[in-house]
Copies of this chain bind each other. A is one copy, B any other.
Amino acid sequence: MNFGSDNTAGFSPEMLEALIRANDGRAMPYGSDPVTARVKDRIAEVFETEVEVFPVSTGTAANSLAISLMSPAWGAVWCHVESHVNTDECGAPEFFSGGAKLIPVEGDHGKFTAAQLAARLEWAGHRGVHEAQPSAVTITQATEAGTIYSVDEVAAIAAVCRGRNLGLHMDGARFANALVSQGCSPAEATWKAGVDILSFGATKNGALAAEAVVVFSESLRAKAAELAYRRKRAGHLFSKMRFLSAQLEAYLTDDLWLSNARHANAMATRLAEGLAKLPGVRLVHAVEANEVFPLLPAAVSEGLRRDGFLFYDWPDAGPGGVRLICAFESREEDVEAFLKSARFHADAAA
């Protein structure tokens, strides 16, 4: 039973129906098809505002395209030190932007505060032409620590950005998981709080491979045509785009995205609550989405693995840290089985 990542899950059955429907007959390629047009409208509707939408197939592509729209090659982009763009994309943002500099910001629980960001920005730009030019800030929602930025926290960060003329990007690989936790509207969670551009993820939450760059701010929409060229020359313009768009359409139909996320979060919460009760086990971060970061005694980790459970060691969380992720199709019985095994080994070790 795999708690390694939500990307070890397959796809929601609704995706299949969508692919079958989209396969009916010929369609113009490269996004000039009706499904893609509908997806753009649907995203505008969901976010209650005018948007530009660029479907792509991976989160790395979405993040890197978004960052390259905000930062020139000689730009600097502030990000959390543990963020996916900084640690898990093999330099993709640097590649897409032509060499922009990602500047890591420290902060507890996968987040930095507006004050921490402002402190790091205090002297930014004072070296003039010698320095990578302050261009943008990127935050992850939900974070790599399974926590979420509250709407107020996002707004405070956005205020810091606006005060320095920096764009604000949100890596929403797990945006749905965060949203259902926040209990606000998609608009409130993003552009109303000051987010300029969003990587809107679907892959981790039920799609086969589908994300979208969603551009909110007027200034970025004005130059969004650039993204069409950038996407094409990065090899991310699908000829049979309708099958990418069909996934996004299904994702946003009948609240599939929200119900999938709610289930994943509920499973994570159940897992966390069970683990918290065990002797010698401590949760490192609050569980606000679908990720759980416990410190486990070595005997427990080893016992769980012997019993067939898969999960990653997570040194960032501290000694004994592991990462457990639940997905849209994680089953209650698997969570219970995990807890039972953990309890057995924890009791034995205690």
Contact = CB atoms under 8 A, between A and B. Distances in A.
Interface stretch (A27-35, A178-186, A190-198): A27-35
A289 B156 CA distance: 44
Contact of A91 (B27, B61, B74, B228): B74
Q: Which of A10, A58, A90, A104 has the most CB of B within 10 A?
A: A90
Contacts of A204: 239
A205 to B, nearest CB: 12
B22 A8 contact: no
Given A5-B29, A16-B20, A27-B8, A91 B73 contact: yes
Nearest to A97: B99
Contacts of A239: 5, 7, 58-59, 203-204, 209
Contact of A235 (B92, B238, B243): B92
B238 A58 contact: yes
Contact of A232 (B122, B130, B243): B130
Interface in A1-39: 1-2, 4-5, 7-11, 16, 19-20, 22-30
A4 B28 contact: yes
Interface string A297-338: 000000000000000000110000000000000000000000
A87 B131 contact: yes
B234 A95 contact: yes
A129 B4 CA distance: 17
Given A203-B240, A209-B240, A240-B10, A92 B233 contact: yes
A307 B240 CA distance: 25
Contact of A58 (B74, B129, B235): B235
A61 B101 contact: no
Q: Which of A26, A100, A237 has the most CB of B within 10 A?
A: A26
Nearest to A1: B26
A172 interface: no
Interface string A225-253: 01011101111111110011000000000
B16 A228 contact: no
A133 interface: yes
A10 B23 contact: yes
A214 B83 CA distance: 33
Interface string A97-123: 111111010000000000000000011
Nearest 3 CB-CB pairings of A with B = A61-B235, A94-B99, A7-B239
Interface of A: 1-2, 4-5, 7-11, 16, 19-20, 22-30, 56-62, 64, 72-76, 87-92, 94-102, 104, 122-123, 126-127, 129-133, 203-204, 208-209, 226, 228-230, 232-240, 243-244, 315-316
Given A10-B22, A94-B100, 12 more contacts: A4-B28, A57-B238, A61-B234, A73-B98, A89-B233, A90-B129, A94-B99, A123-B315, A129-B232, A129-B237, A130-B232, A208-B240
